[in-house]
Amino acid sequence: MLAAAVNDHLFWITSRAAGTLALLFSSVAVGVGLSMGGKLIKGRGPDLRTVHEALSMATIVAIVVHAVALLGDTFMHPSLADITIPFVSSYMTAWTTIGIVGGWMMIILGLSFYARARIGQQRWRKLHRFTALAWILGLAHSLGEGTDAGKLWFLVATGIVAVPAAVLLVIRMSPRRHAPRAVAPEAVAR
């Protein structure tokens, strides 16, 4: 009896843990990526590309485990289509669809790094900007559908990694302010 309860619970808890890890890894990866791409640490700090790449790959693995583990969940009984195709699942359809779209975006955009030479560096950079949208969709999915969404520990853990990434995203999206040009004294006298 205990073995059956553990087995039934194992898939759900695995999916739950992997989903939480995907959110935490992706938040840190987005924060590191925004730090690298902006003027915050460029040329001033360590090269964080390897850290960013490792976090991105960890995010992809966690997303896949999060979805695939649900296939063994005896409460939901999702099909492969339910976990991979938007609007198919009848369980919290909107939040599930947001998660599926965000997950696919994160996987495709993360793996696009390895196709930069074929895509072209400039085109890849433009494409890679959509990673922030994928991250926001994942954040919305976890806060809207996640089992732990209302739990204090989850909100604190999410806030610790998501708030800094969100602040960096807002800074990146803000219009650049240029320092006012000094006006030559002779131009003022005229």
CA 174 to chain CA mean position, Å? 20
**pLDDT range class, residue 178, cuts 50, 70, 90:** low
Mean of pLDDT values over 85-112: 96
Under 8 Å between Cβ of 48 and 28: no
Q: What's the pLDDT score for residue 97?
A: 97
* Rounded CA Rg of the chain: 21
How confident is the model over 57-74, as pLDDT tens digits?
A: 999 999 999 999 999 998
What is the model's pTM?
Answer: 0.85
Of the two residues 38 and 105, the one the predictor is more confident about is 105
- Counting residues of the chain whose pLDDT is more than 90, the rounded percentage is 72
pLDDT tier at 164 (50, 70, 90 boundaries)? Answer: very high
Mean local confidence (pLDDT), 91-116: 95
Calpha distance 97→89 (Å, rounded): 8
**Beta carbons of 91 and 78 less than 8 angstroms apart:** yes
Q: Is the pLDDT of residue 161 over 80?
A: yes
**Distance (Å, rounded) from C-alpha 45 to C-alpha 49?**
12
Q: What are the φ and ψ backbone dihedral angles of 61, each rounded to 5 degrees? A: -60, -45
